[in-house]
Structure 1
């Protein structure tokens, strides 16, 4: 068993969660952490038993005893840091969203191909056994007519915003907001299952900072509609659904799928409980939810593959095409968008022209 020695960028709670899941893979070895603050970096290193601490990404990426880098920095830094690491010969697992926009993602993918190193977006739900069950059983739903997903989670940082304190979660300069933080969880699985939509219609609430607080998005496919809801200023407890002519797949939470049920067409439920014809698609998932993205990434490195078949470069690009268009319709602009030529365009009643 060959160890893959990792350096991580970022010391937030997501990095904590990823490390916990990653350590369930015996091939994972944590070698270094890079933080803008040396003090935070040392504290994080003590907590996780990390040998080396850096405040310079160039230095960490240049180490010969680091095989790969996991990046969990603010969204606006994903592209530049990933490109730096890949140009140093290091495969990169980059947190979602992969980049601020399509143009940045294309530059990252071009670097991956030019340098011959793996690049993968760390979108965890699509790599779990429960999502694999959805993919396996999609055929039993028949012709799919509707996809629905919701991820609405009231942010404690919104309370601070109402008090006049603007934290990073609501700063456009960090490429943040509801679409990038939560919306991508509803969109990425849709793209993996059904590809690129022909039309997008979005509406939402833009906060005084210029970041979006929530949105409702309607996406049109041939013979199928998709609707996604997401919010950082309200809560929702709705499950996700994939509705077909022969049945419906019910997913408890699109961002963390722990239960999948198939309900054949015509099967009703009564007050006495669910019909026995409702099929619970049980999965034995005895690993942490973050384990699966690390295992997929390590497999790619050891197999010499540049990208995942599920969290592929194309799926990441299409997702960003969609988020770019949502932001355009809402009027949300990031500093990262400046001087970037728009390569795709959606409009009501019009198709997509892809520059990829």
Structure 2
């Protein structure tokens, strides 16, 4: 049984805790929050025995072997470094790190601690629906491009409109649409089509200094991939991967709960339907599989592949921000 600690007590941590409990592969052993009372409330709700409000004490504890990091984006790096230095496996919410310098340092530390496993929690690429897309994509005679859309109005934007700066819209904490919902679309593109030759980003900036929504264009030798994402508006536009007369249709690029293939005659075939299922269960199962048997041949192969994807996505995100001249606090322009 994997002994898990969580950093963060927000909704996404709750969703992950629900997921790992459903897998039966994890025992949630510890909770960290900056405020001990918040940690205790989360622990009581989820039947977790240990609580911490001091990171040094947390990482010095022998109550867990794997930590799930769901703190604000800009804090991931330091917490991940500490986890590796204490030989704890780590699952880091996307986007794992802010830039290529941070990613390179994490990779360097991992080579110094070869028994430590690092996973970026990009849940969409672990789902059965995504694997169904991969399988059908391999059957397309021609690929002529794709458009991925993921737009969900954030309740935190109400606070922005009221004059506040919540973390998800703060340059201090690495916020913005690209760093949140946009990550899913970048993971879709990079996993399915590889690294683009060029990227361009056209953001809609909000008063806090980050992007509230935007459109990114990834250029490949024979086609382009267009990414649309927003945290300040809703959209029910589907996402599509184009053949010639046929295409693959996703309900959206983030949750991917329903996938269809439409052939050249317009006949529609459902490839996958996961509506209502906790979307974090597949990634929790994948991570547990590797943690519990890291030397298995297939597990090693998958782990190396996920590592490479994490590095690639980090690079694309950084390059998109550079193209749009979006910088976070502490970064040199």
1:324 aligned to 2:318? yes
1:126 aligned to 2:125? yes
Counterpart contact for 1:172–1:210, Cα < 8 Å: yes
Deviation per CA, 1:279-323, whole angstroms, max 9, x where unpaired? 111457895321111111111111226784487122112212121
5 Å matches for 1:177-326? 177-245=176-244, 247-265=246-264, 267-268=265-266, 277-282=267-272, 288-304=278-294, 308-309=302-303, 312-326=306-320
Structure 1 residue 204: Cα displacement: 1.6
Counterpart contact for 2:258–2:274, Cα < 8 Å: no
Structure 1 residue 327: Cα displacement: 1.4
Secondary structure at 1:140's aligned position in 2? coil
Deviation per CA, 1:123-150, whole angstroms, max 9, x where unpaired? 1111011111111111222221111111
Take 1:288 and 1:121, find their aligned partners in 2: how far apart are those partners? 18
Take 1:307 and 1:148, find their aligned partners in 2: how far apart are those partners? 29
Structure 1 residue 115: Cα displacement: 0.5
Counterpart contact for 2:120–2:310, Cα < 8 Å: yes
- Structure 1 runs (4+) greater than 6 angstroms displaced: none
The residue number in structure 2 matching 1:343 is: none
Query: How many residues are paired up?
Result: 328
Take 1:14 and 1:97, find their aligned partners in 2: how far apart are those partners? 13
Q: 1:283 to 1:156 in 2, by over 3 A?
A: closer
1:93 aligned to 2:91? yes
Q: Give the TM-score of the pair, scaled to structure 1.
A: 0.87
Secondary structure at 2:131's aligned position in 1? helix
Q: 1:119 to 1:324 in 2, by over 3 A?
A: same
The residue number in structure 1 matching 2:113 is: 115
Calculate the aligned-residue CA RMSD, in Å. Answer: 1.9
Take 2:138 and 2:95, find their aligned partners in 1: how far apart are those partners? 29
Comparing 151-160 and 28-37, the one that deviates more: 151-160
Deviation per CA, 1:222-241, whole angstroms, max 9, x where unpaired? 11210001111211111111
Comparing 330-339 and 201-210, the one that deviates more: 330-339
5 Å matches for 1:128-143? 128-143=127-142
Take 2:150 and 2:171, find their aligned partners in 1: how far apart are those partners? 20
Pairing partner for 2:6 from 8, 13, 18: 8
Structure 1 residue 89: Cα displacement: 0.8
Take 1:27 and 1:157, find their aligned partners in 2: how far apart are those partners? 33
Secondary structure at 1:151's aligned position in 2? strand
Comparing 279-288 and 101-110, the one that deviates more: 279-288
Counterpart contact for 2:176–2:211, Cα < 8 Å: yes
